[in-house]
Amino acid sequence: MKVKKILTIALLYGCLCSCSREVYLFTSFHEPANEGLRFLYSNDGYKWNDLGHIFLKPEAGKQKVMRDPSIVQGPDGIYHLVWTSSWKGDKGFGYASSPDLVHWSAQRLINVMENEPETVNVWAPEVFYDPAEKQFIIIWASAIPHRFPKGTEEEDNNQRMYYTRTKDFKDFTAAKLFLDPGFSVIDAVIAERKANDYVLVLKDNTRANRNLKVAFASSALGPYTNVSAPFSGKLTEGPSVVKVAGKWLIYYDAYGEKRYAAYSTEDFKSFTDVSTGISVPEGHKHGTIFKSTSRILKGLKKEAANNKRTP
């Protein structure tokens, strides 16, 4: 009897460990971005596989595309997804939520720039949960003609980063300027190294550069200062940041070379090119890398497999 009880406990423990085993997921889309949300998965953060399925078809916005899907899991376990819904014309971004990444809420367009009628675009929203303030922060790039010194960019491409905050994705604070580094900037993502220590990885979008840089702050909302020299080559964008085995990996789209690439860093000052050590499926475009469980991955695989069997 005791042996049977011990075996039952062992089997239960093994199941719990298996279901809670950590995996990496990567939100993804394929050009021309009209199909919808894809996921890549990885056990080690370096070798990625495409689940080969569309988990959410875009319905929000004028153009009804899904670019730059960014996701975060709230403290209640619900996943919150935001994305670029149109190249131009929208005053907001797409939003949906899910408990398991398979079943999704109705989609909404969150019109964060509705009070700025001259807004050209709302690009690459990135959602971040700030545990210190118990709120979600969404940052994005917008161009408002004649708002900032023109520099080298045309007025409809002179981008700056803006932000809004929410606790429930129902009520949002008014959009405010998040980052003005003195040049056109897009594709920014927040990484928390530890309490009161944040890094912003961003794209210098000026024609002469179009490369990646970093800046630093003591709070998630900044101000971010000490913008670095570029650490990536020209024609690079869409950084995604994740910590793997004590090191930070920065994945990015080296679109000038038509490949996906990655750097490794411990301090965001020295960067090592680890592109030869990664494997990213062809066609993948940038999103968010986040940690999840084998239970969630199992559900995604089941949904993908059932869809393939459907006539």
User: What pLDDT sits at residue 116?
Assistant: 97
Closest CA to 220 of 289, 160, 139: 139
pLDDT of residue 20: 65
**Edge-to-edge strands, sheet with 123-130:** 123-130, 135-143, 159-166, 176-179
Cis ω before 223 (30° cut-off from 0): yes
The mean per-residue pLDDT over the stretch 258-272 comes to 97
Q: How far apart are CA 57 and CA 30, in angstroms?
A: 12
Label residue 150 by pLDDT band (50, 70, 90).
Answer: confident
Mean pLDDT of 53-76: 98
**92 and 122 in contact (C-beta within 8 Å)?**
yes
Instruction: For tokens 């370096």, name the residue.
Output: 46
Look at residue 9 and tell me whether its pLDDT is greater than 50: no
Residue 66: which H helix or E strand, with range?
A: none
Contact 250/265 with Cβ under 8 angstroms?
A: yes
Distance CA 277, CA 291 (A): 20
**Confidence tier at 95 by pLDDT (50, 70, 90):** very high
* Domains of the chain in sequence order: 24-309 (2.115.10.20)
pLDDT band with cut points at 50, 70 and 90 for residue 127: very high
- Model pLDDT for residues 10-48, shown as the tens digit of each residue: 444 444 444 568 999 999 999 999 999 999 999 999 999
151 confidence band (pLDDT: 50, 70, 90):
confident
**Furthest C-alpha separation in the chain:** 79
Please state, rounded to an integer, the average pLDDT across all residues of the chain. Answer: 93
Q: What is the pTM of this model?
A: 0.92
Q: How far apart are CA 57 and CA 15, in angstroms?
A: 33
Q: Which segments of the chain are extended strands (E)?
A: 22-28, 38-42, 49-50, 67-73, 79-84, 93-98, 108-110, 123-130, 135-143, 159-166, 176-179, 185-194, 197-204, 211-217, 237-244, 247-254, 259-265, 272-273, 289-293
d(C-alpha 296, C-alpha 36), whole Å: 19
* 62-90: average pLDDT: 97
Alpha-carbon distance of 309 to 311, in angstroms, equals 6
Averaged pLDDT for residues 197-220: 97
